[in-house]
Structure 1
Amino acid sequence: MNNLTKADIVRGTLIVLLLVGIALLLVKITATLMLIFAAVLIAAVIRAFSDPIHHRGVPETLSVLLAIVLIVVLLTGFGWLFGHSLGQQFDSLGTRLTEGYQTVRAWIAGLPFGAAIQSATPDVQSLFGRALSVAFGAVGILTNFILVLVGAIYLALDPGLYARGFSKLFPKQRSGKVLEALSESGHVLRKYLAAQLITMTAVGTMIYVGLSIVGVPSAGALGLISGLTNFIPLIGPFIGAVPGILIAFADDPEKVVWAALVYFVAQQLEGNVLTPIVQRHAVSIPPAVLIFALAAMGTLFGTIGIILAAPLTVIIYTLVAKLWSHETLGHQVDALDDAKLDGDSEDDS
């Protein structure tokens, strides 16, 4: 301690202040961080389409542009085939949900202690209205969407540029390993998103078919909602089931049991049959990790954090397994065999 000079003390103090300042800055720009990660997700989707084209000898930039055109064509084709029908169903969905919500509240009021239950239940319509005002306020959802989309295109055009820049934040002798880990995390993320797309499509289709058979109105829109909310692990299926249950109750209380059965069977088939098959080719995150990741991301970033918690956890989980558990501590990472993060584990002593 006696060998420390004033310059050393000043330098150490400045480093501490810099770290504290960076931490405070990150807290202030949490929304921007989520926009950046959303751009990374879209860029991963674009690269998933462009890589097969690039492997056929097409230049990288042209393959990315062709991938964007292909995605637009696919989305346009989906809208042309199903847009009119789904549009009509979504037009009536809002009215039906309001009727269903009021019907359920009236039914609860007739129960013993119904008034106490109602007073303890938040006003969903008021909460939804505040959520919309937040979404469309300030910068606005359209501006954020354009920002994310443009950022995603730039990231997809040259991901190596940004990866190399990020690796320069680490010691030079470790930058190669950081680049490998970033490349691996991108590969794992694409596999995870592909697996999610399969399960979301399957769940949405099963819900649509099941509710149509049961006779619940707006089955197509409800199936689409269930498929989209299935992107959120663990709690997404319950969120997606709420509109269907409400509409079934408003249409005919006897349909509630059948609607609930449709959701239950679809989720059981997805969780016990489809997901285990799909996850043989994609990374699997332990459920407890996902639970706490959802809680942490929801606390830090709000609703958008909950939506993006799973893919963000996949990236963090992969980077920690690759850079810390495997490279630094020398452990064989068995939990991520499918992601091939321990491919050189034979060299571990």
Structure 2
Amino acid sequence: MNDRQTHIEEPGPSELHSALVAHEMKRAGVWIALGIAVALVVLLAQPILLIMAALVLATMMDGGTRLVGRIAPIGRGWRLTIVLLAVLAFLVYTFYLTGSSLAAQAQAMRVIVETQVTRIGGWLQRLGVSTTPEDFKNLATQAMSSLGRVTAAVGTVVGIITSSVMMLVLAIFIAVEPKLYERGVAWMLPMNKRVSFYAVADRMGWTLRRLMFGRLIGMAVEGVGVWLLLWAGGVPMAALLGILTGLFAFLPNIGAIISGVLIILVGFSGGTSIGLYALGVYLVVQIVDGYLIVPMVAKRATDLAPALVLGAQILFGALFGIMGLFLADPIVAMIKVYLEERSKALEAERGSIIVTQSTG
């Protein structure tokens, strides 16, 4: 008998039907897909963050719409219109009617901060510290310039306005009919994954609404409280400091430090007594917000560890700039919700397997 007839042919390394080749091809495909995904995230960081910001903004709109619905049982479109008009009226009143005075105060504040930084540098030099005022200025410049690569792409006024308009329009579209887009994402998933997706999406929406509601309440309390208390104590630029404090309150931990430094620098520019009063106002407002408002609202919704939030802000701020700072807290909250819901689903699956094995 011919040797070729007795020998059983097996697939070689170049044969795609080989189990070894198929296995290695799958592994290579996974790594290639992972590399492409990382590259796309890096290249598309700015639009991805804009979409995330639009989702957070849409969640805030949805929360306001639900709140109006408790008072006025009207259509969702009308309730969303009321929310948008109220926000627009507030912005017009804040930046148009008081725009000229705030602009003048902002220019004066810049001069005051530079003067105070120079005084601190001179005081440290007299104490023997080899740090000059220019070092402080260079440090501040480096800190502002190292906020990330993403903001450099939209650093111009036109880029900022365009990105803001796109984000606002996208958020309004999502807030008008959020379930429509939720069903669209679920349609791309397998049938057996859609129930868990809806559960995770609902939980994320609820968590973000609570988180943003607590953040807005904290911003209002800190901004208005600082403004009124500084105004009553005769601290210069009380209105501008109140607005900046309210805006920076959106960034937990880091925002409080920035606003506190500004309040103290401006306060001590008016004298030691006014500076100490401004420091006391800052401490009182932070204590009220940190120990009363945040535990009652934000921490009950997310229960995020302060160190975790601060670490995420440092990481996202270094990678993605100011936008990363704003989105660090919501992104960490959504990741936490997903991991919790995934853990619950796995525990339920293990429980069902154990029950099946015990009954079998």
TM-score, with length taken from structure 1: 0.81
Q: 1:197 to 1:129 in 2, by over 3 A?
A: closer
Q: Does 1:123 align with 2:141?
A: no
Q: Equivalent residue for 1:235?
A: 254
Q: Equivalent residue for 2:335?
A: 316
Q: Equivalent residue for 1:89?
A: 105
Deviates more, 1:201-210 or 1:182-191: 201-210
Q: Equivalent residue for 1:339?
A: none
Per the TM alignment, residue 138 of structure 1 is displaced from its structure 2 partner at its CA by 9.3
Deviates more, 1:250-259 or 1:211-220: 250-259
Per the TM alignment, residue 44 of structure 1 is displaced from its structure 2 partner at its CA by 1.3
Map 1:1-349 onto structure 2 (within 5 A): 4=19, 6-7=21-22, 9-52=24-67, 58-79=74-95, 82-83=98-99, 85-113=101-129, 115-116=130-131, 118=133, 121=136, 123=138, 126-127=141-142, 130=145, 134=152, 136-137=155-156, 140-168=159-187, 170-279=189-298, 282-322=301-341, 324-330=342-348
Q: Secondary structure at the match of 1:256?
A: helix
Contact 2:118 2:133 in 1 (8 A): no
Q: 1:203 to 1:166 in 2, by over 3 A?
A: same
Q: 1:112 to 1:13 in 2, by over 3 A?
A: closer
Contact 1:46 1:64 in 2 (8 A): yes
Q: How many residues align?
A: 329
Deviations 1:59-85, CA, capped at 9 Å, x for gaps: 444543443233323433445665555
Q: 1:57 to 1:258 in 2, by over 3 A?
A: closer
Q: 1:330 to 1:233 in 2, by over 3 A?
A: farther
Per the TM alignment, residue 222 of structure 1 is displaced from its structure 2 partner at its CA by 0.8
Q: Secondary structure at the match of 2:302?
A: coil
In 2, distance between residues paired with 1:178 and 1:157?
A: 21
Q: Which amino acid aligns with 2:257?
A: F
Contact 1:103 1:250 in 2 (8 A): no
Q: 1:119 to 1:81 in 2, by over 3 A?
A: closer
Q: 1:254 to 1:119 in 2, by over 3 A?
A: same
In 2, distance between residues paired with 1:125 and 1:155?
A: 38
In 2, distance between residues paired with 1:4 and 1:222?
A: 68
Q: Structure 2: any 5+ residue segments left out of the alignment?
A: 1-12, 350-360
Per the TM alignment, residue 102 of structure 1 is displaced from its structure 2 partner at its CA by 2.8
In 2, distance between residues paired with 1:10 and 1:95?
A: 63
Q: Which amino acid aligns with 2:47?
A: T
In 2, distance between residues paired with 1:120 and 1:98?
A: 12
In 1, distance between residues paired with 2:270 and 2:202?
A: 51
Identity score, percent: 24
Q: Which has the larger radius of gyration?
A: 2
Deviations 1:250-293, CA, capped at 9 Å, x for gaps: 33244333322221122112212332333486333222322332
Q: Secondary structure at the match of 1:143?
A: helix
In 1, distance between residues paired with 2:278 and 2:68?
A: 43
In 1, distance between residues paired with 2:86 and 2:225?
A: 27
Deviations 1:170-202, CA, capped at 9 Å, x for gaps: 432011211221122112211111111111111
Q: Structure 1: any 5+ residue segments left out of the alignment?
A: 332-349
TM-score, with length taken from structure 2: 0.78
Q: 1:285 to 1:36 in 2, by over 3 A?
A: same
Q: Secondary structure at the match of 2:319?
A: helix
In 1, distance between residues paired with 2:277 and 2:87?
A: 37
Q: 1:111 to 1:214 in 2, by over 3 A?
A: farther
Q: Secondary structure at the match of 1:116?
A: coil
Deviates more, 1:137-146 or 1:266-275: 137-146
